[in-house]
Structure 1
């Protein structure tokens, strides 16, 4: 198990100046150093504008704070996202523009190389004293959003990230209530043979 906290994260301004991204974790690509296998980050979006383009990347976005945003992908109708919306999955190569609804937002981003990795992202809300069993196959990543939780006895506070490899079933628990992002990353079979 690896534990990451704010001192391990990196803040990077967007190329277009529209916000700042806090990179929580980046897994290197197995054969292309300029690319990544997977990346977790939290973006502070200060103004409406275009998103960066990431060819071959599957993106999952979740609004954490603020009134929300409306995304336009190509010529498709706007998709409105707020804190109650489920995670939104979209292709990184799509021309995507963002319109803020009422001021700045913070959003959680998961990006993976879709040719090599299959990903899922779920937000787990734990009531005080609540528990949840988390499957433990592949790479399991948990990020504390609110409150304090424990993962099979290991504490997880807000802004902390835990990274585990094939740990087997896990029990997520909170005495006071918590909100936790749970991510599963699984290598696609074709990628293990190098083809």
Structure 2
């Protein structure tokens, strides 16, 4: 179990130079945009426009803050994505553009390299204690709004936008929200090699 504090996240420019991304976690550690297996980040989107293209990448987008965006993904009808919407999965290498609905947003972006990793993102509003048993190779939990108390041997807690990384062997986790809280539970699975 590893806790990542929001104050320690790395801020870097977008691939297309149109804004900045706050990187929560990446694997392998310190991988760049061209050689990661998976990457979880947040971005502040200030203007409408095209998304960066990521060859061979699958991505899932969620809105954390703001009124939302309308995504225009090639080959699909436009999709309206707001803070209450379910996370939206789409290929990172098809032409995609976003139109802001009413001012800037902050989004959560999960990316995995096709053929190496797959991922699933679950949006879970929390009003009481829950138990989580990790069953992915890596599970990342992001606390939004209020923080959460972790019932662990050292009594740690997660503040707003802090993250927790668990591996498959981690024990079942008990979490108690500090007020109304939203969790994103991100499961990252390694693709079995073909023999």
TM-score by length of 1: 0.88
State the SS of the aligned residue for 2:164.
strand
Gaps in structure 2 of 5+ consecutive residues: none
Mark the CA change 1:151 to 1:140 in structure 2 (over 3 Å): closer, same or farther. Answer: farther
What pairs with 1:56-75 in structure 2 (closer than 5 Å)?
56-75=56-75
Moved over 4 A (4+): none
Mark the CA change 1:33 to 1:50 in structure 2 (over 3 Å): closer, same or farther. Answer: closer
* Residue 4 of structure 1: how far off its partner (Å): 1.2
Contact preservation (8 Å) 1:70, 1:101? yes
Contact preservation (8 Å) 1:70, 1:99? yes
1:64-88 per-residue CA deviation (whole Å, 9 max, x = no partner) reads 1111101111143211101111000
Match of 1:149 in 2: 148
Greater displacement, 10-19 / 35-44: 10-19
Gaps in structure 1 of 5+ consecutive residues: none
* Residue 16 of structure 1: how far off its partner (Å): 3.7
Instruction: Please state which structure has a larger fraction of its residues in strand.
Output: 1
Match of 2:112 in 1: 112
Coordinate RMSD, CA, aligned: 2.0
CA distance in 2, matches of 1:170, 1:117: 24
Contact preservation (8 Å) 2:146, 2:178? no
Q: How many residues align?
A: 188
TM-score by length of 2: 0.88
